[in-house]
Amino acid sequence: MINDDILTLYYYRDGLTEAERARVQAAIEEDTALRARYEQLCEDVESFAAAEPVAAAPAAVARWHDSIERVARIEQQRASSRNRVFHLPSFAWGAVVAAALVVGIGIGSYFSGNNVPEPSIDNGVADTAMPEPRSPSVTFARGLLVHLRESRQELADLPMGADSERAMLIMQMIQQNRMFERAAVQNESQDLARVLRAFEPILMRLASDDISPADAEALQAQLAFELNVMLTKLRRNVSEVTGPI
């Protein structure tokens, strides 16, 4: 007995051996009722056509173009620095340290729960307008805890030196960070979103090629410290609501 499931596999030319296919084909040729069932199945399945795709959001397309530009730029910087005869001290290192410190202040203020104005970071420029922090949902907070723990581990495991694997891993961390930043916005935790956003320029610096191994190591240590602080505070906040995790 050849049922519609077998006919489906026959239609897709998949999942049947040559001998099974030959048997089905012979049966279809001999059996009028079976042939009618198969023709109906073909007609039905061929009607499962997708409409023309709806366009992706222009902002998303711009982000995709932007991401290719950035990784290409990082590679070009890396290639040009390899060609340098002397390694010049990284002029940008001061900016990196400053950015890391600002992130630290931002995180500290976020978790302090007082009304001290908290700096926001946008390309290293701080301003003082800051809403009162709101508690993110427990589900989101637990997800964020996992993300921060993974980020801390990924940071610790980052391969040293300028290779594409390292840059790719950091870009993935940035993508993850962006997802949680958006989730923070959806959870009406604008201040937390801002803190997460502040990690991105530092991660971008970490991915770039004009940073010496020693500087990169120091920056990783600084980020690991900030992640620890954030994890501790967040864990405490979640435990206060739900009990120990």
Partner 1 sequence: MAVFERGGLPTQAEFHEAISNRSDRWFAACLRITRSRELAEDAVQEALLAAWHKRHQFQGDARLETWIHRIAVNAALQLIRKNRPGVFEPLDTDIADNGDSPESDLANHDLGDNLAAALRHLTEIERVCFVLRHLEQWKLKEIADETGTNESAVKQALFRGVRKLRVKMADMRSQ
Residues in contact with partner 1 by the rule CB under 8 A: 4-5, 8-9, 12, 14-15, 41, 44-45, 47-51, 53-57, 60-61, 63-65, 67-69, 71-72, 164-165, 167-168, 171-172, 175, 179, 182
The smaller minimum CB distance to partner 1, of residues 116 and 138, is found at 138
The smaller minimum CB distance to partner 1, of residues 23 and 70, is found at 70
How many angstroms separate the CA atoms of 203 and 195, rounded?
Answer: 13
Tell me how far, at minimum, the Cβ of 57 lies from partner 1, in Å.
7
The smaller minimum CB distance to partner 1, of residues 167 and 216, is found at 167
Tell me how far, at minimum, the Cβ of 90 lies from partner 1, in Å.
24
The smaller minimum CB distance to partner 1, of residues 65 and 134, is found at 65
Tell me how far, at minimum, the Cβ of 119 lies from partner 1, in Å.
28
The smaller minimum CB distance to partner 1, of residues 156 and 179, is found at 179
Backbone CA torsion sign across 20, 23, 28, 33:
negative
Tell me how far, at minimum, the Cβ of 52 lies from partner 1, in Å.
8
Tell me how far, at minimum, the Cβ of 5 lies from partner 1, in Å.
4
Under 8 Å between Cβ of 140 and 153: no
Q: Dump the DSSP string for 162-177.
A: S-HHHHHHHHHHHHHH
Nearest to 107 by CA among 219, 213, 224: 224
Nearest to 206 by CA among 197, 198, 216: 216
Tell me how far, at minimum, the Cβ of 13 lies from partner 1, in Å.
10
The smaller minimum CB distance to partner 1, of residues 13 and 87, is found at 13
196-199 CB contacts, 8 Å cutoff, 24+ apart: 197/121, 198/99, 198/102, 198/103, 198/106, 198/120, 198/121, 199/103, 199/223
Tokens of 133: 């922090």
Ordered alpha helix ranges (H), the chain:
4-12, 18-30, 32-46, 58-82, 93-112, 138-157, 164-186, 190-207, 213-242
Q: At what angle do helices 164-186 and 190-207 cross, to 10 degrees?
A: 170
